[in-house]
């Protein structure tokens, strides 16, 4: 186990890792500071400045309601970042716990629950989420548990298979002989041993969930207007891609650079921790 | 090798022949926006009427000429008695339905009397329910007897839904589509393709097109892409899409004074919109000039004060309504919302601009303390599942004569009274207006009705907009006029 600092410097020594970390840090800084640094009110509409190309007044141009795309793009990741982070925590907590408990329990319980999980993973996550959003209405509060639930399903596989590697080892058997409860064994014996691969998996989940939130906003089911959001901005401007490419390009660049940044960082992290096979587990 | 070459030549020949055949047949392609979610009906008076198709299948007694004035279609002449309670209609002779049967006065009687059938709940009933009965004088003459005098009957007979169907065909007209129009149904599948074929026996001459195909494409951007890719011959547009077609010789764009509108409907029977003060507060903070500029651009529409009547209608009320956020705040405070109000507005990406309209409204009313939550509903089935169901939703109307729209959308109990507005005084004014034969007096009454709507109605209508459509360059005969003005038998495809 390496210290946090040692891990980070090892990641930075890989070229792709350094690029990824810089991208992520820049994005986090933008998200934090956006409300202070934006030059225009991001929701103010201006009939005199509809679809203006980039200029000094509007660095990224304006959209079809005359809103400043620069300000909207800087603000456009904030809500999705918060939703993704909270959803990832939900997904990791319930996915890890259930996975480890199943690995420990084994037998019929494990087999039955895993078949149910198999069946649920077979349903595309977007259908599941759309179904819930249609029934409950779209709100940030509803999205977090929904995404946490759907993405937690794939975490179960990873946590379970990682835990299975250790279940038959002597120190676990010793704990069982000592009469420790399953819960104690899961938390004190197994969790510390699989923490690294779960953390890497969690970071990966985060980027998938972020894409999911953006997709939902693109479909009009995620972040609601007037709050600017990249997915929503791309959806709004997709019809005018030829005549006003600036309206769609910037949210796309920001969205993809964040995702690429996270992915590069996670790959580098996995290499440092010597964890392979990322992304081979079934994704919802 | 030689065998292979012969086979290749044969295949090529067969392909050439197929292509030549396809080129010879003139197929006009359009899209169905699926706004009734597959329940689109061929019954012209159904609330779910498939009007783009019905325009081609059926004829009216009276149609509009290019200036919107009544012109003969299946009726060649119409006269009324001195009090405008009896109208005598002379019919075109030699007209047959698609099934070969002759069109006569009995069909007129059946069609017009059917509109009032309460079981059908036709939106057209609120427009034409003053028709008491129709007498068949002889096969070529019908006499329409009114329960109340109406000097403007021919104007109302121009309604895009008042289309003649065969006597006794009501039970299955929604599937058969048998009319006297230039095209007849070949196959009917609103969720897939609906195919119309030329009616060789059409009384004004065989249509120039051989087939018209309507393909279901619910998403407005997908329709636009299909148009750009040459898969459609005809589509409606938004202003910002024009640039995609402007310098392209493969298309022609039409910008025409249409008078249709998007509106925001607040259900007057649902809290908090049961309070007329709240309803007015929802409408008056908006800068309508700014909204027009943002939505359709200056010069592509005319602002109004929630009048559903288009700008060049002689009965339109001349109202002024500068933005008044303070007035709205005051009204809200009086109604018990001193700290502003939260409302939810439903819209859908159904017609281009419908989502934007809601976004502009949201921003415009924020200054009056009205906090709008926008909910994007699915496009398919919007008119069935969302509109007239939720408390506040975006609506879209095409222009109609003043008397028609004021009755159809605001009279107590009308099928398409989308705001569930009910005001006996308003209804009485309309009754009086219909019975008034003097133009100036009738106009004063219709204008009073519009003033009432501005003061306490539930529908926000900031402007009436021009129509925008794009055609492929080979389309001939579509004039820059509203959909139901188009004379489809004259439309042609002539490759350049």
Instruction: Please check the confidence at residue B20 and state whether its pLDDT lies above 60.
Output: no
First vs last Cα of chain B: how many Å apart?
A: 41
Rounded to 5°, angle at Cα B116 from B421 and B150: 75
- Under a CB-based contact definition with an 8 Å cutoff, are residues B109 and B61 in contact? no
Nearest CA in chain A to B367: A44
Whether A225 sits inside 8 A of B240 (CB atoms) is no
Chain A's closest residue to B222, CA to CA, is: A239
Using CA atoms, how far apart are residues A145 and A90, in angstroms rounded to an integer?
7
Shortest distance between the Cα of A122 and any Cα of chain B, in A, equals 25
pLDDT band at B2; cut points 50, 70, 90:
low
Distance from CA of A240 to the nearest CA of B (A): 7
pLDDT at residue number B183 = 97
Encoding tokens for residue B182?
Answer: 């230039």
Furthest CA-CA distance within chain B = 93
Q: Is the peptide bond before B276 cis (omega within 30 degrees of 0)?
A: no
Test the A interface: residue of B346, B363, B364, B367 with most A CBs within 10 Å? B363
According to DSSP, the β-strands at B301-303 and B459-460 are unpaired
Q: pLDDT tens digit string along A195-222?
A: 888 888 899 999 999 999 999 888 888 8
Q: Which residue has the tokens 């994005």?
A: A27
First to last CA, chain A: 31
The answer to whether residue B19 scores a pLDDT higher than 50 is: no
Q: Which residues of chain A are within 8 Å of residue B241 when distances are taken between CB atoms?
A: 239-240
Question: Distance between CA B239 and CA A51 in Å, rounded?
Answer: 12
Confidence of residue B350 (pLDDT cuts 50, 70, 90): confident
The alpha carbon of residue A279 and the mean position of all alpha carbons in its chain are separated, in whole angstroms, by: 14
Test B224 with A239 for CB contact under 8 angstroms: yes
pLDDT tens per residue across span B444-488: 999 999 999 999 999 999 999 988 899 999 999 999 988 889 999
Q: B404, B159 in Cβ contact below 8 A? A: yes
**Residue A195 in 3-state DSSP?**
helix
Do the bridges between strand B251-266 and strand B301-303 make them parallel or antiparallel, or are there none, so unpaired?
unpaired
Q: What is the CA radius of gyration of chain B?
A: 24
pLDDT over 70 at B347, yes or no: yes
pLDDT mean over A259-281: 78
* Phi, psi (deg, nearest 5) at residue A252: -65, -45
Percent of chain B at pLDDT above 70?
95
Among B332, B349, B341, residue whose Cα is nearest residue B276: B332
Closest C-alpha among B306, B346, B267 to residue B462: B306
Tokens of B20: 């030549």
For B363, the closest of A45, A64, A236 (CB atoms) is A45
How many Cα atoms within 13 Å fall on the side-chain side of residue B389? 10
Beta bridge partners of residue B343, listed in sequence order = B372
For the domain with range A4-33+60-272, which CATH number is right: 1.20.120.1750, 1.20.1290.10, 1.10.3720.10, 3.40.50.620?
A: 1.10.3720.10
| pLDDT above 90 as % of chain B | 68
Contact B349 A44 (CB under 8 A): no
Judge whether A138 and B375 are in contact, CB under 8 Å: yes
Q: Report the alpha-carbon distance of residue B453 to residue B244 in Å, rounded.
A: 39
d(CA B408, CA B431): 13
All residues of chain B having their beta carbon less than 8 Å from the beta carbon of residue A242 are 243-244
In chain A, which residues have their Cβ closer than 8 Å to the Cβ of B373? Answer: 224
Selection from A69-73, A172-176, B31-35 with the highest mean pLDDT? A69-73
How many residues does this entry show for chain B? 496
Give me the pLDDT at residue A108, please: 92
Q: Which residues of B130-150 are buried (b: 16+ CB within 10 A; e: fewer)?
A: bbeebebeeeebbbbebeebb
pLDDT computed for residue A276 by the predictor = 56
The domain ranges of chain A are: 4-33+60-272
Task: Choose the weakest-confidence range: A277-281, B252-256, B362-366.
Answer: A277-281
Give pLDDT, residue B13. 52
User: d(Cα A104, Cα A100) in Å, to the nearest integer?
Assistant: 6
Note whether B244 contacts A220, CB cutoff 8 Å. no
pLDDT of residue A82: 95
Whole-number Å distance between alpha carbons of B374 and B365:
13
Question: Which chain B residues are Cβ-neighbours of A218 within 8 angstroms?
Answer: none
* Rounded Cα–Cα distance for residues A144 and B258 (Å): 46
pLDDT at A61 over 70: yes
Instruction: Enumerate chain A positions whose Cβ falls within 8 A of a Cβ in B.
Output: 43-45, 47-48, 50-51, 64-66, 134, 137-138, 220-221, 224-226, 236, 238-240, 242-244
Burial class (CB in 10 A: 0-12, 13-18, 19+), B451: middle
Which residues does chain B have within 8 Å of residue A238's beta carbon, measured at their own beta carbons?
221
Task: Return all residues near B202 (Cβ < 8 A) that are at least 6 apart.
Answer: B180, B181, B182, B489
pLDDT category at B21 given cuts 50, 70, 90 is low
Quick one: DSSP state of residue B100? S
Strands B211-216 and B27-32, bridge-based pairing: parallel
Q: Which of the four pLDDT bands, split at 50, 70 and 90, describes residue B205?
A: very high
Average pLDDT value for residue range A233-256? 90
Nearest to A243 among B221, B244, B355 (CB): B244
Contact predicate B209/B28, CB 8 Å = yes
- Considering all CA atoms of chain A, what is the largest pairwise distance in Å, rounded to the nearest integer? 77
Contacts with A, B 280-309, CB within 8 Å: 290, 293-294, 297
Joined tokens for residue A229? 């959001």
Lowest mean pLDDT among A30-44, A83-97, A132-146, B75-89: A132-146
Min Cα distance B376 → chain A (Å) is: 6
Contact of B30 with B233, CB cutoff 8 Å:
yes
The nearest CA of chain B is from the CA of A67 a distance in Å of 11
Mean pLDDT to the nearest integer, B410-422: 94
């Amino acid at each position: 186990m390496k210290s946090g600092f040692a891990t980070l410097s090892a990641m930075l020594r890989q070229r792709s890792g350094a690029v990824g970390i810089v991208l992520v840090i820049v994005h986090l800084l933008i998200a934090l500071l956006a409300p202070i640094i934006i030059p225009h009110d991001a929701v103010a509409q201006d009939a005199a400045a509809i679809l203006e190309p980039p200029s000094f007044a509007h660095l990224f141009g304006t959209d079809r309601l005359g809103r400043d795309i620069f300000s909207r793009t800087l603000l456009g990741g904030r809500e999705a970042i918060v939703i993704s982070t909270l959803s990832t925590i939900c997904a990791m907590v319930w996915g890890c716990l259930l996975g480890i408990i199943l690995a420990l329990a084994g037998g019929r319980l494990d087999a039955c629950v895993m078949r149910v999980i198999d069946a649920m993973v077979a349903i595309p996550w977007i259908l599941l989420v759309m179904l819930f959003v249609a029934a409950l209405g779209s709100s940030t509060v509803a999205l977090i548990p929904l995404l946490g639930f759907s993405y937690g399903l794939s975490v179960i596989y990873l946590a379970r298979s990682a835990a299975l590697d250790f279940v038959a080892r002597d120190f676990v058997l010793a704990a069982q002989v000592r009469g420790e409860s399953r819960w104690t064994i899961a938390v004190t014996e197994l969790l510390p041993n699989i923490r690294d691969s779960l953390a890497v998996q969690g970071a990966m989940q985060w980027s998938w969930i972020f894409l999911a939130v953006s997709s939902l906003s693109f479909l009009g089911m995620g972040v609601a207007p007037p709050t600017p959001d990249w997915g929503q901005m791309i959806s709004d401007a997709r019809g005018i891609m030829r005549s006003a490419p600036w309206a769609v390009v910037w949210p796309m660049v920001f969205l993809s650079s964040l995702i690429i940044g996270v992915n590069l960082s996670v790959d580098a992290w996995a290499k440092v921790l010597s964890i392979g096979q990322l992304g081979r587990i079934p994704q919802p | 090798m030689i065998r292979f070459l012969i086979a290749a030549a044969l295949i090529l020949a067969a392909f050439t022949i197929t292509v030549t055949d396809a080129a010879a047949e003139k197929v006009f392609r359009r899209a169905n926006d699926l706004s009734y979610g597959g329940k689109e009906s061929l019954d012209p008076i159904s609330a779910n009427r498939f009007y783009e198709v019905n325009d081609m299948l059926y004829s009216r007694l009276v149609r509009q000429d290019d200036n919107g004035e009544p012109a003969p279609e299946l009726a060649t002449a119409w006269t009324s008695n001195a009090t405008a309670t009896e109208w005598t209609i002379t019919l075109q002779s030699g007209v047959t339905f698609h099934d070969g049967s002759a069109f006569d006065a009995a069909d007129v009687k059946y069609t017009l009397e059917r509109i009032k059938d309460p079981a059908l709940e036709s939106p057209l009933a609120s427009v034409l329910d003053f028709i008491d009965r129709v007498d068949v004088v002889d096969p070529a003459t019908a006499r329409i007897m009114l329960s109340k005098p109406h000097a403007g009957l021919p104007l109302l007979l121009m309604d895009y839904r008042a289309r003649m169907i065969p006597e006794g065909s009501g039970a299955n007209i929604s599937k058969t589509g048998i009319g006297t129009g230039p095209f007849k149904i070949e196959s009917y599948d609103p969720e897939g393709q609906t195919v119309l074929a030329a009616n060789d026996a059409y009384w004004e001459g065989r249509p120039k097109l051989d087939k018209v195909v309507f393909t279901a494409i619910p998403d407005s951007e997908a329709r636009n892409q299909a148009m750009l890719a040459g898969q459609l011959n005809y589509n409606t547009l938004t202003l910002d899409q024009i640039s995609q077609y402007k310098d392209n010789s493969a298309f022609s764009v039409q910008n025409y004074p249409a008078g249709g509108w998007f509106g925001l409907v607040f259900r007057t029977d649902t809290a908090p919109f049961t309070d007329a003060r709240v309803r007015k507060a929802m409408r008056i903070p908006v800068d309508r000039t700014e909204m027009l500029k943002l939505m359709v651009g200056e010069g592509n529409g005319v602002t109004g004060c929630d009048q559903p009547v288009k700008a060049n209608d002689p009965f339109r009320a001349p109202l002024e309504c500068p933005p008044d956020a303070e007035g709205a705040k005051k009204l809200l405070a009086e109604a018990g919302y001193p700290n502003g109000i939260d409302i939810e507005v439903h819209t859908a990406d159904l017609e281009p601009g419908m989502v934007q309209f809601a976004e502009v409204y949201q921003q415009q009313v924020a200054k009056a303390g009205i906090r709008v939550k926008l909910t994007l509903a699915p496009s398919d089935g919007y008119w069935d599942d969302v509109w007239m169901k939720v408390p506040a939703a975006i609506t879209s109307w095409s222009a109609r004569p003043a008397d028609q729209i004021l009755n159809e959308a605001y009279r107590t109990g009308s099928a398409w009274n989308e705001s569930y507005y009910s005001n006996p005084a308003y209804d009485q004014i309309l009754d009086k207006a219909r019975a008034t034969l003097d133009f100036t007096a009738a106009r004063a009454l219709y204008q009073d009705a519009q003033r009432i709507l501005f003061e306490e109605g539930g529908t926000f209508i900031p402007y009436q907009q021009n129509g925008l459509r794009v055609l492929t360059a080979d389309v001939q005969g579509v004039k820059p006029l509203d959909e139901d003005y188009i004379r489809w038998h004259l439309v042609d495809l002539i490759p350049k």
